[in-house]
Amino acid sequence: WIHAHPGRFTFDTGFTGMSFLKSLMYAFAGSPAELQGPFDPVAYGRLRDQVFAWVQSVRADLWHHGEAFPASTAQLHQLFANGEVDFSMSFNDGEVDNKVDSGMFPATATAFALTTGTLQNSHYLGIVERSTHRAAAMVVVNFLISPAAQLRKLEPAVWGDGTVLALDNLPPSWRARFVAAEQRRHAPPRSALQPYARREPAPEVMIRLSRDFRHQVLHE
């Protein structure tokens, strides 16, 4: 597709773009198990080289001939909104509804996942170790993971992000409200995307991939 549509695809050099490359590592892996468990430098090196070889094979047909990359998903979203590229990326599969409703993305925008494997991630909430208001911070964290806040977060006009709650563990009344709320117009239901979800590899993969991409691909 990239060769047939030169200049219409790119990825950012930040967290999401590097996560796209990690998804490609899953595509080249013989089994998802190669990227799960403790960091394996041999498997990492082999898969990194395959991914970088792929990048170089399509580079001339990327946006700006692969001579420049957006630095963040915000910049990539803007390129998509401007009609300069045909794809953007997000860890929030419901973000497309938010962006369409806000007028940033065209109404034809649709979310999908790579069928060869797409990283699935979660938000993390933490409290600074030396916090002087630990109890208050815990109240805020508890609110953010409450059914009421999570349901509000689902609304495209608010965020459009999925919930971290296990719906089967909720009281029937709350579960019914979540099921009714997940009426996305521009993204498949999560149940349709879940078969393609892949776990985050060991943290060392991201650390090395970001470094190696800058050295070996961007030559920084």
* Closest alpha carbon to 120 in 39, 190, 37, 184: 190
Domain interval for residue 105: 2-123+189-218
Whether 69 has a pLDDT exceeding 90, the answer reads yes
Q: Please, what is the average pLDDT of the chain?
A: 95
Residue 128 domain-assigned?
A: no
Query: Is pLDDT of 127 > 80?
Result: yes
Torsion from C-alpha of 74, 85, 196, 178, nearest 10 degrees:
50
Mean pLDDT calculated for residue range 50-75? 98
* In a domain? residue 30: yes
Predicted confidence at residue 133, as pLDDT, reads 96
Whether the predicted pLDDT of 71 surpasses 70: yes
Instruction: Look at residue 25 and tell me if it is in a domain.
Output: yes
> Is 112 within the bounds of a domain?
yes
Q: Are 163 and 136 in contact (CB under 8 A)?
A: no
Report pLDDT for 182. 65
Predicted TM-score of the model (pTM)? 0.89
Residue 166, in any domain of the structure? yes
Same domain for 116 and 62, yes or no, is yes
Same domain, 176 and 201: no
If asked whether residues 116 and 7 sit together in one domain, one would say yes
Both 152 and 77 in one domain: the answer is no
Q: Do 150 and 197 have their domain in common?
A: no
The reply to whether 129 falls in a domain is no
For range 82-89, the mean pLDDT = 98
Q: Is 88 a residue whose pLDDT tops 90?
A: yes
Q: Does residue 9 sit in the same domain as residue 102?
A: yes
Residues 44 and 147 in one domain: no
Question: How many domains, the chain?
Answer: 2
Q: Do both 25 and 85 map to the same domain?
A: yes
Torsion angle of the four alpha carbons 43, 49, 51, 54, in this order, in degrees rounded to the nearest 10: -150
Please state, in angstroms and rounded to a whole number, the distance separating the CA atoms of residues 149 and 127: 19
Q: Please state, in angstroms and rounded to a whole number, the distance separating the CA atoms of residues 156 and 162.
A: 10
**Are 111 and 59 part of one and the same domain?**
yes
Examine the pLDDT at 106 and tell me if it is beyond 70. Answer: yes
At residue 190 the predicted structure's pLDDT band, cuts being 50, 70 and 90, is confident
Is 88 within a domain? yes
Looking at the fold, whether 148 and 205 belong to one and the same domain comes out as: no
Q: What pLDDT does 117 receive? A: 94
Residue 211, domain member (yes or no): yes
DSSP string, 94-130: THHHHHHHTTSS-TT------TT-EE---------TT
